[in-house]
Structure 1
């Protein structure tokens, strides 16, 4: 079988694996409730106090803030989906069916990252319509919507890639979730509060700081830029993927 055909076949299997378990549907439903719910909160607050609305803002700007909640949901879903068959021992029959580990790694990474990213972006876009329903005068300009979708697609895609990488590298749902929370939330917030220059430097180079800057426009240091934040997110995602690839290709899959 050619590599392209094997990749396509494995990709279909990975898609089926994601949506054949209850946890994926639970994640999707809970994430939808959270993102759309916060969209309603943001919209109702804006409608109740129009003076707080920044001139030139659109409903897309309000929904953009729900991207952080989408990010954590997508990150957790990517970890759980990636580690599911390691937790159950299903990785052994998976590799018997797809013995070429590079094919499995590529298919799992692409399918999980694409699926979770599209889910997150779709929910945030839906959240924008919820915001707009409360404050229709803000509008939903197409160009602004496409720009926001592109920005969030990069943020959520990088987060999902980090989740897949951590999940496959640790082969433990709990360990990967702890690392993900530390890198995306606890580490940046904690280190930024300490009165040392080096802790600010470390916080700035954590993926959570990059995500916060791209969503809210603020970070641990004033010299952060959009480019540096994007590079930080991408570098962490790729590093996690390299680590997961090494472990899958070089070690026994059931250890």
Structure 2
């Protein structure tokens, strides 16, 4: 005969335990992303920087003339796309830092314990964070690039370098920019998960993306020429450059190289995430 105690215990014993699914992890990271004020600020700042730099560069452009060394933010080798994307270095730093903070920030606050308790397999957290931030950055910066280019054409009206969206390579360059910046954001997530320190992750991002290419000046010319196009930032720039120089990678080659860097960083972060206790 069942007692009152056994009746009360039966439903609890039969209650199924919720299963962790990739969709559930992505949904959780999506909600977590939008609950952070820093996410809103970083996305808004990247859009403002992209538009402001692009519009100002286009509006202040002046073609090269004899004895004219003051040419605004543009120069004679510029094109309408490069002027529209003048804010690329700063935008890359903003979204890359956002990626770092999404993962390393949880280690700083201790929230990572709750996250990994909810998702004991761990790796879905890394990939979900990367996917969420990369997708959002891709959409926002692509729209921003298109807007910056459209507004820039107003300032370049009548100039020889003025282009339209239908001109060869223009749309490819603007879309390539969005893909590049999305990969930078995913790269930041990987560095944040690998180093687990906001300061360390952002410093490493800055060093790899902006300082490393400048160190090639210390190398022999032959070695520098071979290595520089394959650094993350220079390979990434090939993805959205309207014109490729003789020693640069093609847009497709730049994508493969930079995506390889991101994949390598994610693999290292995944290895550490699985091998360490927290």
Q: Shared fold (TM-score greater than 0.5)?
A: yes
Which digits, 9 at most, give the CA deviation of each residue in 1:89-115, with x for residues without a partner? 100111222223132222122112212
Q: 1:44 to 1:79 in 2, by over 3 A?
A: same
Specify the alignment match of 1:89 in structure 2: 110
Where does 1:152-171 land on structure 2 (aligned, <5 Å)?
Answer: 152-171=177-196
Counterpart contact for 2:50–2:86, Cα < 8 Å:
no
Taking the aligned partners of 1:230 and 1:180, their CA distance within structure 2 comes to: 18
2:92 to 71, 89, 99: 71
1:62 aligns with 2:83: yes
Specify the alignment match of 1:108 in structure 2: 129
1:176 aligns with 2:201: yes
How many residues are aligned here?
246
1:31 aligns with 2:28: no
Question: Could you tell me the TM-score, scaled by structure 2's length?
Answer: 0.76
Larger RCO: Structure 1 or Structure 2 (Cα < 8 Å, ≥ 6 residues apart)? 1
Taking the aligned partners of 2:75 and 2:219, their CA distance within structure 1 comes to: 33
Where does 1:217-228 land on structure 2 (aligned, <5 Å)?
Answer: 222-226=246-250, 227-228=252-253
The structure richer in helix per residue is 1
1:191 to 203, 213, 216: 216
Gap regions ≥5 residues in structure 2: 1-17, 66-73
Specify the alignment match of 1:122 in structure 2: 143
Taking the aligned partners of 1:15 and 1:234, their CA distance within structure 2 comes to: 23
Taking the aligned partners of 1:54 and 1:142, their CA distance within structure 2 comes to: 22
1:236 aligns with 2:257: no
Deviates more, 1:112-121 or 1:6-15: 112-121
Question: Could you tell me the TM-score, scaled by structure 1's length?
Answer: 0.82
Gap regions ≥5 residues in structure 1: none
After superposition, the CA RMSD in angstroms is: 2.9
Q: 1:157 to 1:231 in 2, by over 3 A?
A: same
Offset at 1:239?
0.3
Offset at 1:211?
2.3
Offset at 1:196?
5.2
